[in-house]
Amino acid sequence: MNVAQQYIDLYEDQKGVITTHSSGVMNAPRELALESFVQQGIPTKGLERYRYTDLSHVFDIEYGVNLKTLLPNYNPYNDFSCDVDDIESSLHFLVNGVYQGASETPNLPDGMLVGSLRKLTEEYPEKFAPYYNKLAGEKNDPMACFNTAFAQDGLLVYVPRGVEYTEVLQLISLFRSQVDMLINRRLLIILEDQASMKMLLCDHVDNDITYLSTQTIEIYLGKGARLEMYDLEETHNETSRINNVYVQQEADSSFLMNGTTLHNGLSRNDIYVDMIGEGADVLLSGMVIADKKQHIDNHTFIRHAVPNCTSHELFKYILDNQAIGAFSGRVLVERDAQKTLSEQSNKNICLTKSARMYTQPQLEIYADDVKCSHGATVGQLDDQALFYMQQRGIPAKEARMLLMFAFVDDVINTIRIPVLQERLRKLVEQRLRGETNKCTGCALCGGRTCNK
């Protein structure tokens, strides 16, 4: 049977349950999304955008799906705490894609909303219906369509005009099940003009069950809005994540996204940024440390639609054993987007002959007054540098670790929260030393491992 067909049949059989346990705003685009998914199917390497990643095998498993949005008899607040020194944060939880609340009552500025996507779109349908699935629906990616058809809850963040949220909003996505589980989650983030905030996202699993998660994030940045988003993936070999991020930037807005994959099974991250207002800037940075048979594919697309915008991309991979990495970065400069500044860099190290890296940087330019550059390299550790360090008494293993750490340090430097930088440096060093080989709790914020 066609792999996609079992999910199409599931939707048709259970759509009453799906819609009953969600909101009208989330239900509105489901049928069209499913129709698009039916037409496209699950992506394989035959589709150009997925030429390095075949997703059919991760869907060809009998997963449980929590269509009634039940929460397990489990209190995550007892197992997670933040011990990053000097960081003011509010901690929120998704459990199997369902919003379970915050560790304590958030102290929110007037008019700001943070909480369950389902409940807030039920309470304010007219306010959020114009935003939900607008960006994802326009791109029509098969995996975003799949997510739109099945997602029933997630997180909604709304920051009103002129509000600066000074705490770091941390979202822990917890996967917890006794059977192989498919989890579909959705994030809707809206910052009105001159609003600003920082977000920290972390996936966590507490057992060796096979998990597949689809996630779609839609981000709207008004004029002069500023958003920093930091995303850590440190799960285990039986976890697959398909993540689609859509960003729309108005004039003079600023967006930073730093994504770090320290451990996983398969990851596919698609990031689309549409710069529609003059003076907008975006920085996308990513770091991958992979071994065994792990597979990480980052795909970015930045569209410069208007003049005087700036984009920077920096992605680095370290691949060991039989790990596979892929990076495809496309920058489109429209005819009217004069005075564009765009830089894109992808650098990679393969530590073994069996590791594979596929890189495809792309520039598509229709304006004539621009400064654009892109480049990619794939190589090995510098033997001369290793020899030089060993001559000065540094053991070979330590020298290799130091060179790898130095290689990715400029990606860590894109983080604009100093204490978070230092925390990630410690995690990266542990990973490079082989001390971290699967999820050990919310490593980024220092939560305890769940022992239940």
H/E run at residue 6:
helix 5-20
Q: What is the pLDDT of residue 1?
A: 55
Distance CA 415, CA 286 (A): 11
pLDDT at residue number 9: 97
pLDDT at 150: 98
Q: What is the mean pLDDT of the chain?
A: 92
pLDDT at 36: 97
Q: How confident is the model at residue 446 (pLDDT cuts 50, 70, 90)?
A: low
d(CA 374, CA 342): 8
Instruction: Decide if 289 contacts 323 (C-beta within 8 A).
Output: no
- pLDDT tier at 192, thresholds 50, 70, 90: very high
Mean pLDDT of 17-25: 98
Q: Which residues are paired to 261 by β-bridges?
A: 233, 288
Digit-coded pLDDT (tens) for 285-294 = 999 999 999 9
Give one DSSP letter per residue of 39-62, joined into a string.
HH-S--TTSGGGTT---HHHHSS-
Name the pLDDT band for 105 (thresholds 50, 70, 90). Answer: confident
Phi first, then psi: give them for residue 293, nearest 5 degrees.
Answer: -115, 30
Q: What is the model's pTM?
A: 0.95
Element (H, E) at 427: helix 418-432
pLDDT digits (tens, 9 = 90+) for 307-351: 999 999 999 999 999 999 999 999 999 999 999 999 999 999 999
Q: Which residues contact 48 (CB under 8 A, 6 or more apart)?
A: none
Residue 284, pLDDT > 90, answer yes
Residue 442 has pLDDT above 80, yes or no: no
Question: First vs last Cα of the chain: how many Å apart?
Answer: 38
Q: What is the mean pLDDT of residues 173-180?
A: 92
CA dihedral 306, 327, 272, 270 (to 10 degrees): 180
Mean pLDDT of 416-445: 79
- Give me the residue spans of the domains in the chain: 5-277+415-431, 381-410
26 vs 140, 148, 388, CA distance in Å? 16, 8, 59
Question: Do 221 and 191 meet the contact criterion of CB atoms below 8 Å apart?
Answer: yes
Q: Collapsing DSSP states into helix, strand and coil, what is residue 301?
A: strand
In this prediction, residue 404 carries a pLDDT of: 95
The pLDDT confidence band at residue 445, using thresholds 50, 70 and 90, is low
Percent above pLDDT 90 for the chain:
83
CA gap 67, 65 in Å, rounded: 6
Q: Amino acid letter at 304?
A: H
Model pLDDT, residue 441: 53
pLDDT at residue 80 in the model: 66
**For a pLDDT cut of 70, what percent of the chain falls above it?**
94
Q: pLDDT grade, residue 452 (50/70/90)?
A: very low
Per residue in 60-100, pLDDT (tens digit) is: 999 999 999 988 777 777 766 654 556 777 899 999 999 99
User: Which of left, alpha, beta for 405 (phi over 0: left; psi -120 to 50: alpha)?
Assistant: alpha
User: In this predicted structure, what is the pLDDT of residue 149?
Assistant: 98
Q: Per-residue pLDDT tens for 358-388?
A: 999 999 999 999 999 999 999 999 888 888 8
Residues facing residue 312 across a β-bridge: 283, 343
Confidence (pLDDT) at 448: 41
- Calculate the CA dihedral of residues 287, 217, 299, 351 and round it to 10 degrees: 30
